[in-house]
Chain A
Amino acid sequence: MSHVIYSDAVLSPCSRRCRRFAVWSVAITTLLGGGVARATLADDPTAKGSELEKQFQNAVLPFLNVYCLDCHGNDDPAAKLDLSGYTSAEKVAKEHQTWAIVLDRLRTGEMPPKDSEPQPTLQQRESVIRWINAARDFEAARNAGDPGPVLARRLSNSEYNFSIRDLTGVDIQPTKTFPVDPANEAGFDNSGESLAMSPALLKKYLEAAREVAEHLVLRPDGIAFAPHSVVTDTDRDKYCVKRIVAFYEKQPSDLADYFFAAWRHQQRLNQVDGNTAAGDATLVAVASENRVSAKYLATVWDLLIDEAPERTVGPVATLQTMWRTLSGDAASVDDARKSCAVMRDFVVELRNKLRPSFPNITVEGSHVGSQTFVLWKNRQYVEHRRKLDVAKLQIEGVADEPDEKSDPKKNGEKKDEEKKDDALPFDEDLLVPADEAERARHAAAFERFCSVFPDAFFISERGRDYVKNEQKQMGEKGRLLSAGFHSMMGYFRDDGPLYDMILDEAGQRELDGLWQELDFVTSAPMRQYEGFLWFERTDSRYMRDPQFDFARPEDKAALSEEMIEKLADVYLEKAALNGGGEVELEAIRHYFREINRQIRWVEQARVDAEASHLDAIIEFAGRAFRRRLSTTEREELVAFYRALRIDDGLSHEEAIQDTLVSVLMSPLFCYRVDLLEIGSGRRSLTDDELACRLSYFLWSSTPDAELMKLAAAGTLRQREVLSAQVQRMLQDDRVRGLATEFVGNWLDFRRFEEHNSVDRNRFPEFTDSLRQAMFEEPVRFFMDVAQQDRSVLQFLDGRHTFVNAELARHYGIPVSQQVGIPRTTIATSAEGDVGQADPRIWIRIDDASEYGRGGLLPMSVFLTKNAPGLRTSPVKRGYWVVRRLLGERIPPPPPNVPELPEDESKLGDLTLREALAKHRENVACAGCHERIDSIGLAFEGFGPVGERRDLDLGGRPIDANAVFPGGTAGQGVEDLRKYLMTHRREEFVDNLIRKLVSYALGRSLILPDELLIRDLHEKLKTDNYRFGSLVENIVTSTQFFNKRGSNYLARE
């Protein structure tokens, strides 16, 4: 041969030839004589077995010797297939999978190779085929319905992560640094065949469990898990503060929304009057429809519709005028929204002008930013959130003069300073009549206005309020919930109006709980007080005198009630001496009283909560072990906790953590003990076992509360309950576990998120985010099939697909609007556009065929994965289709085939197509490559990262013509799809069923499964190929529904 033979290291030539024993062929023909028809076998299994054995010895064995063993003997067997050991029918039965390959090769006529001598006659060939079929049927029938050997095994890395996610509610992914799990023969990492344990791995399990325990939060009434570790004070602060701020932010506190809801309500009332009632015309109903608080809507509504003339003056009148204009007009929704925003802005602006201001108080020697006095000022704000500062009002005629009627409540000695602040310019909005009675009426309206519209519903950020310089304060925002002390930590709750006016009782309870949790989890009062002790003798010089020396922040005893009271006395004594007035002294008394109360509360709450933490861990253990715990097991957990505290001297928190670690380390959690072959013979699964098997099949995760509940009630096994659960589970988003673990491994893209063989210099568009999007596409596609119960044929012939902005751009699909970016054609738009789109927004493209996409075949993840960098690989792409999609078994290539160049621009004069054609001229290569290459060539219109292209990287025009196996000619993916749908459809379906059954059962297939596969295939056809029906039929199959007991013996 003068040319180089190329291969993509997939296929093998059959180089050696059979020459010997030609004489035997006649004899074999005679012996077999076509006489092994299934019908001739007696019904008696024993007789059947011996008949098969006889036929094997007489016909099959000689056939092997003559036509096969020359190449497939035990001396360096071709394609690593050694057939020499099969000396009895029983041995064949044991390795039926190998014999399925033999069967396949004989059927396609590929073996013995066409150019070898001697060749069996057609009759001989068919006789052996019949024998293999008969033997398989015989074996399958003998053990029909055998659940098969399913080993109890550890959770796979993914199952561990998903289980932790569903148990804790946070996605910690503790196994992300574990070594990759090995796969079994079927290609899945969910079976005992491949999942092993080792000391090194066990250490990692221990680290993983410890990592989860670092996320454990002990709350006043139980446990929770934080999305980040909560070991240090700063972590704990972050966790609790974020929860409170998130709570605030989700409350409806935008006034415009209330005005809008009121407008809706008014409209509905108008309709009711006109007898065209639409919807429930109550404030409660309107509030719920518009997602605002019913309680506060009623307050606002009352103000808006109040008609009493003595009350409707001043700002109330102004607002009502705006309201009447709005509610009178038959405004469009958009206009109404705008008008409501204007009303809101009016209220907010006026309310800001009425905001009271308070002086800083202090005593000689103290610091203006000290806790005692900052808290006093914070409390003033709290108390006045809904109150009018009369001093802000301006009297007609005297408005431009300094107001003498300042709030008498204010501190006398601070008045001068305050006056300067209050000397605001003339403001019409704040005018009240000079007439005293009129003025009182107006002031009352202002008061009501202030009461209905607080100056703030809540304060979630606070800087240092005592600092005069406004600029400085502006820069200090972002101290969430901070009390605003100088340098010291401390939180301050200021949400009275939200609490009183907006929240219902449940909301109030939740918010109270969150604030208690903050103190409880972060030790905020203790730390605040320690900060006080430090600050008062450093930045503040107040406590530098020797009488304060006893109170040291380092000394835990300083937190005791006795010491706090002792310090309070000394502190007050100095304050009195230094000229502190009653306000200052009371602020100090209040401070020590409150901090002591808070510290005591935390201490007591912690003691009180211990039992609830232990209960919560026991509850957690039940969920982690995926079944109800026995009384003994509960007692053992408690005993373990006690031993940790008493014998090992651990603190409560440590003991709870370690109890949690012991739960996660127990084989009852990290192993699938539901699979244990316990019991005798063959038996159906218990309900608990069934729940586990279902959830690890469909979610790769632990059963949820509903499954556990049904299992506990013993009803899960009922056909209609089971069927409803399967439907529910398929629709649940956790079915993503099936998408990544089953489809990802089946179609070989599970690890694509780490795919690094793309030359990013040549393909700068291949970013990490595009790679992520490529991975996501088949996941979304599959989830759609599962959740919408679509036909599995859509994988092949679907014209739709799913894209996010970046993938759409890669595909040249204009979707800018739908993914939230400006309307420009993505294909031609600047880089920036896509950057702004949210990569989490995915949309369905109903017909992607005009962009060359739709279905699995042209997805860039597969095209990229099966391209070696700087060229495409028709061989790999074709192999992926026949091997992964169709399940065709193709032997491995010989070791000595030269590789194609890495870069298609370096192929010289040949196109890739021509180079492959050369390769197929070698008859040894052709056998396999003819089944692959043409299918791969249909993808040539897509480059190495799955991009559409007209020229290859060497500048040569693309030719995507192909003659598919069997002789159908076609061009491109469209014709490939037709070919597959017409000629290979049932192969695809058969393969999908085999893979899914193997995945569902967590083991390789055994012969008895053949009957199930056939049955499932028939049913699937009848059910229009709906995925849901396939899953349901698998779940209710004997294999899935049963298990072997410890003494189960398969008939051999």
Chain B
Amino acid sequence: MALPWLESIPVWGFEPSVESEASPFPKRFGVLFMACGIHPDHWWAKGTGSGMELGRSLTPLEPLKEKVNVISGLFNKNSTGVGIHPGQTGNILSGASLQKGAELRGGISVDQVLANHLGQETAQPSMVLGCEQPITGYHETNFSMAYSSHISWQNATSPVPMEVYPSLAFDSLFDNRGSRRNKSVLDRVKGHAASLSRQASAGDRSKIDEYLTSVREVEKRIDRLRADQDKALDRAKNRGESVVKMARPDNGLPEDIRDHMRLMCDIIALAFQTDKTRIATLLLCRDISGLFYPFLDVRNAHHSASHHERTDEWERISQYYCSQLAYLASRLDAMPEGDSTVLDNSCLVFVNNMWSGSRHDSTKVPLVTAGCLGGTLKTGRTLDYLKAGDDNRKLCSFYLSIMNRMGLAANQFGDANTPLANL
């Protein structure tokens, strides 16, 4: 596991970062996940730029039209023909073939690949958040329900532990728990070394001192890193356009799912703005979700509601989820960064594991991006890959394109060997 704090971070906005020559600002990647499909009749977009027309479920994106892409027709081959739900979900960000039965086996997800490569630059390699607790039983398809609960996987067999408590997610940004824990450890072992050094011969002392110096040096780096982060935080504050004022959320889980989602989006916005992390995934709901939405006047829980996908109820739910993307995107867009905004240096991806909840259809999935990723991703477009042929409409090709644009020279990811054409 990489330790997040050991390399000094470039203070964004003041030092050019290595991998992005075009823009001095770091590029961020965020995923918002919704499960069980959308309302198929109202999830569409036509035209480009300010002239883009949006289906009813996408109307929350109206003010952001020029900064989003509505992409249709992408899919994961490995999540088709394997049975419904978990097999369609656990690989949404990896494209891996999932194993049924007692042992979990899939593949590393795109966010974790990015975190492994870019995560050392920041306090946290990535944030993996959720608004619904994971579960791990067995689905009737004999896939583990862990696949339904986790979209971020650190390797083929282990999901990334997901934080569902806003208060703890918040703490992870500001407390630097990881580095504080390491400092306590180093402080203690320094004592051991110092007492050994006192007893040792001259030759030995040089070896022990080598160790002591190394410990002190690492401690200094921790301090420097924390100082840098505080500075970054100050700068964000000084621009007067900060969400840093966000108060620490209460302990426990918010009663209202609306509060829960909003807090999680705020935390991601904050983390991106202050460069605590550049990679985030947020599981708004898990697959076979039990969330319910009295405020939308829907009595059925999420999964049951999705089986009636052409109802007004399900349309309201679809639109509500879209509004989460709109909310996070507009938060980021309100944060200036040079002449642009944090959103302009990010790529948010809203993705669903199915198109149709009643038919459990994952032969194409709804996908919307927001932000132009430091000018590397043209926005304001509607793209449809459905007729491009299965080899040319892979989700993993899309992920590969994003990876390349974030500075990873990979030429393969999941089941894709080529980036997505015309993106």
Contact = CB atoms under 8 A, between A and B. Distances in A.
Contacts of A486: 140
B142 A677 contact: no
Given A476-B142, A654-B181, A678-B199, A197 B192 contact: no
B204 A151 contact: yes
Interface in B70-94: none
Contact of B199 (A231, A475, A1044, A1046): A1046
Contacts of B388: none
Interface in A210-233: 210-211, 214, 228-229, 231-233
A667 B214 contact: no
A553 interface: yes
B288 A538 contact: yes
B189 to A, nearest CB: 5
A241 interface: yes
A676 B214 contact: no
A553 B201 CA distance: 61
A487 B158 contact: no
Given A487-B137, A648-B180, A662 B185 contact: yes
Interface in A199-213: 199, 201-203, 206-207, 209-211
A676 B135 contact: no
Contacts of B182: 206
Contacts of A673: 196
B208 A479 contact: no
Given A241-B102, A489-B137, A527-B135, A555 B252 contact: yes
Interface residues of B, number: 67
Interface in A113-159: 149, 151-154
Contact of A530 (B133, B159, B217): B133
B186 interface: yes
A941 B280 CA distance: 61
A534 B189 contact: no
Contacts, number: 210
B208 to A, nearest CB: 7
B227 interface: no
A214 B204 contact: no
Contacts of A963: none
A210 B3 contact: yes
A676 B3 contact: no
A475 B138 CA distance: 13
Interface string A658-680: 10011001111001010111100
B188 A640 contact: yes
B421 interface: no
Given A211-B1, A234-B158, A650 B181 contact: yes
A317 interface: no
Contact of B214 (A192, A198, A677): A198
Given A464-B140, A487-B145, A676-B201, A539 B186 contact: no
A539 B148 CA distance: 15
Contacts of A534: 133, 135, 290
A807 B289 CA distance: 55
A203 B225 CA distance: 14
A489 B136 contact: yes
A231 B161 contact: yes
A461 B102 CA distance: 9
Which of A152, A478, A544, A662 lies at the interface centre, i.e. has the most chain B CB atoms within 10 A of its CB?
Answer: A152
B334 interface: no
B139 A202 contact: no
Contact of B200 (A210, A467, A1046): A1046
Which of B138, B203, B210, B301 lies at the interface centre, i.e. has the most chain A CB atoms within 10 A of its CB?
Answer: B138
B111 to A, nearest CB: 16
Given A530-B135, A667-B189, A676-B204, A229 B158 contact: yes
Given A648-B181, A661-B185, A671 B208 contact: yes
Interface string B207-224: 110110111011001000
A197 B218 CA distance: 12
A488 B196 contact: no
Interface in A539-593: 539, 541, 544, 552-557
Contacts of B188: 640, 662, 666
A780 B202 CA distance: 41
B391 to A, nearest CB: 29
Interface in B115-142: 132-140, 142
B379 interface: no
Contact of A537 (B140, B201, B301): B301
A373 to B, nearest CB: 16
Contacts of A640: 188
Given A199-B217, A648-B181, A654-B181, A152 B136 contact: no
Interface in A518-548: 527, 530-531, 534-535, 537-539, 541, 544
Given A192-B207, A554-B164, A232 B159 contact: yes
B233 interface: no
B301 A538 contact: yes
B52 to A, nearest CB: 36
A511 interface: no
A644 interface: yes
B304 interface: yes
Given A644-B184, A671-B211, A203 B136 contact: no
Interface string B239-255: 00000000000001100
B104 interface: yes
B207 A665 contact: no
Interface string A171-206: 000000000000000000000100011110111001
A554 B253 contact: yes
A644 B202 CA distance: 35
A487 B140 contact: yes
B142 A1047 contact: no
Contacts of B253: 552, 554-556
B135 A531 contact: yes
B85 to A, nearest CB: 9
Contacts of B158: 229, 231-232, 234-235
B3 A206 contact: yes
Which of B160, B185, B299 lies at the interface centre, i.e. has the most chain A CB atoms within 10 A of its CB?
Answer: B185
Given A231-B161, A673-B196, A1046 B144 contact: no
B64 interface: no
B181 A538 contact: no
Contacts of A472: 140
Interface in B1-39: 1-3, 6
A197 B137 contact: no
Contacts of B208: 152, 667, 671
Contacts of B303: 538-539
A315 interface: no
A487 to B, nearest CB: 5
B214 A202 contact: yes
B29 to A, nearest CB: 22
Contacts of B184: 643-644, 648, 658, 662
Contacts of B104: 234, 238
A942 interface: no
A233 B136 contact: yes
Interface string B257-292: 000000000000000000000000000000011101
B423 interface: no
A203 B218 contact: yes
A463 B1 CA distance: 35
A485 interface: yes
7 contacts: A476-B138, A478-B100, A479-B142, A544-B299, A662-B185, A667-B192, A671-B208
Report, nearest first, the 9 A-B pairs whose CB atoms are least far apart: A478-B101, A489-B137, A1046-B201, A677-B201, A199-B217, A202-B214, A488-B137, A534-B290, A538-B290
Interface of A: 149, 151-154, 192, 196-199, 201-203, 206-207, 209-211, 214, 228-229, 231-235, 237-238, 241, 461, 463-464, 467, 472, 475-480, 482, 485-490, 527, 530-531, 534-535, 537-539, 541, 544, 552-557, 640, 643-644, 648, 650, 654, 658, 661-662, 665-668, 671, 673, 675-678, 1044-1048
